[in-house]
Chains A and B, each alone.
Chain A
Amino acid sequence: DAKTTQPNSMESNEEEPVHLPCNHSTISGTDYIHWYRQLPSQGPEYVIHGLTSNVNNRMASLAIAEDRKSSTLILHRATLRDAAVYYCILSITTGANSKLTFGKGITLSVRP
């Protein structure tokens, strides 16, 4: 399975943008890039996914490098509720469903 590399942790200030990096140098042409986050004592929550082009949704933006070997999750204005573990995952797609292999993720702390 293609793997991702993320820093262990990152700190940010409330109401400021946050850029969470992810390296995936062995990504294959059909791998989707997914981001999930997990708040304390909860199950993971889908954030965003993309294949080649940058993606935006109500939660975040996903910027994908042109060679697809790295990507960045952008939270435009961090809130205290965004403090969580963020997982960058390359999915193996089989038909309409994907197999997710979680790593340790990056722990985001948000300072008031």
Chain B
Amino acid sequence: EAGVAQSPRYKIIEKRQSVAFWCNPISGHATLYWYQQILGQGPKLLIQFQNNGVVDDSQLPKDRFSAERLKGVDSTLKIQPAKLEDSAVYLCASSYYLEQFFGPGTRLTVL
């Protein structure tokens, strides 16, 4: 069974630039999550999708972050414009039931 795929694996940008991350969940998983993990901390949930609808985006900084999940499969997370404090690993996860499967993450460095 293929796992959760994410790209790119690494991204370096300057502040005020835009960046987008892509996630392909495990086939058949209706729920998709985006997390932000700052160095030394546990992952923080940014947004949760059920199929192509948003279930929870209470911790998503909506003035600069946006996410979509077209057709209930792949998802993209965008940051525009980026700030220095957005430097983190962005993790995508998917689930069918209670167990969440995580991708390898995208490490973002904002200079």
Bound-state CA distance A105–B105 (Å) is 19
User: Of the candidates A91, A93, A94, A105, which one forms a contact with B42 in the assembled complex, judged by CB atoms under 8 Å apart?
Assistant: A105
Report the bound CA distance from A44 to B31 in whole Å.
17
A8 CA to B55 CA, complexed, in Å: 32
Contacts A93-B98, A97-B50 known; A43 to B103 CB distance under 8 Å?
Answer: yes
Q: Is there an interface contact between B98 and A43, defined as CB atoms closer than 8 Å?
A: no
- Given A87-B42, A102-B43, A103-B42: A44 and B48 within 8 A (CB)? no
Chain B window 25-52, contacts with chain A (Cβ cutoff 8 Å), 1 for yes, 0 for no: 0000011000100001111110010100
Interface of A is mostly: strand
Tell whether A94 pairs with B98 under 8 Å between CB atoms, given A43-B93, A43-B103, A44-B91.
no
A49–B48 touching, CB < 8 Å: no
Q: Residue of B at shortest CB range from A44?
A: B102
B102–A45 touching, CB < 8 Å: yes
Determine the distance from Cα of A91 to Cα of B93 in the docked complex, in whole angstroms: 15
Contact B97 A96 (CB under 8 A): yes
Interface bracket on A: 20 to 34
A-B residue pair count with CB separations less than 8 angstroms:
57
Contacts A97-B31, A97-B50, A99-B56; A46 near B99 (Cβ below 8 A):
yes
Min CB gap A42→B, angstroms: 6
Per-position 1/0 for B74-111, Cβ under 8 A of A: 00000000000000000101011111111111000000
**How would residues 89 to 111 of chain A score, 1 for a CB under 8 Å from any chain B CB and 0 otherwise?**
00101101111111111000000
Nearest Cβ in chain A — how far from B77, in angstroms? 15
Minimum CB–CB distance from A49 to chain B (whole Å) comes to: 6
Chain A nearest Cβ from B92, distance in angstroms: 8
A101→B33 CA distance, assembly (Å): 12
Residues of A within 8 A of B105 (CB): 42-43
Q: Which residues of A contact B (CB under 8 A)?
A: 32, 34, 36, 42-46, 49, 85, 87, 91, 93-94, 96-105
What are 12 sample pairs from A and B whose C-beta atoms fall under 8 A apart? A43-B103, A43-B104, A44-B93, A46-B99, A49-B98, A49-B99, A87-B42, A96-B96, A96-B98, A97-B95, A102-B44, A104-B42
